[in-house]
Homo-oligomer: A and B are copies of this chain.
Amino acid sequence: MMFCCSPVTRQPLSAQEADELARVFKAVGDPVRLRLLSLIAAHAGGEACVCDLTGAFELTGPTISHHLKVLREAGLIEGERRATWIYYRVRPQLLRQLSDVLVPDPAGVRA
């Protein structure tokens, strides 16, 4: 992930930065994916296997799998197979970057 830490409110984003950022925000711009992210992050041990996740939704396996893939390709989570199960964990660095980039300027810093 190439964009860096200066908030969106500081100076105008370049088209490139905007493209990269938008890709990630689009990934969290879906209620199912947000809940998946939240379920994984808040799960005991910081990780959850897919079998823990599918039960929380009225959606089929393939659909959950699709959303996990979107989150994975956005860099928000990573998965690891252990024996029969695949465990997902969130990648806090990217989450932190997203959080930082949205922080509003303290009033009056701009000209």
A residues neighboring B (CB under 8 Å) = 8-13, 15, 18-19, 21-22, 25-35, 37-39, 41-46, 56, 90, 92, 95-96, 98-100, 102-105, 107, 110-111
With the chains together, A28 CA to B105 CA distance in Å?
17
Identical subunits present: 2
Instruction: Output the nearest chain B residue to A26 by Cβ-Cβ distance.
Output: B29
| Chain A interface main SS type | helix
Query: B30 to A8, Cβ gap below 8 A?
Result: no
- For residue A77, give the distance in angstroms from its CB to the closest CB of chain B: 12
The answer to whether B105 and A41 have CB atoms under 8 Å apart is yes
- Decide: A34 and B46 in contact? CB cutoff 8 A: no
Decide yes or no: A42 and B98 within 8 Å by CB, A29-B22, A30-B22, A92-B104 being known contacts: no
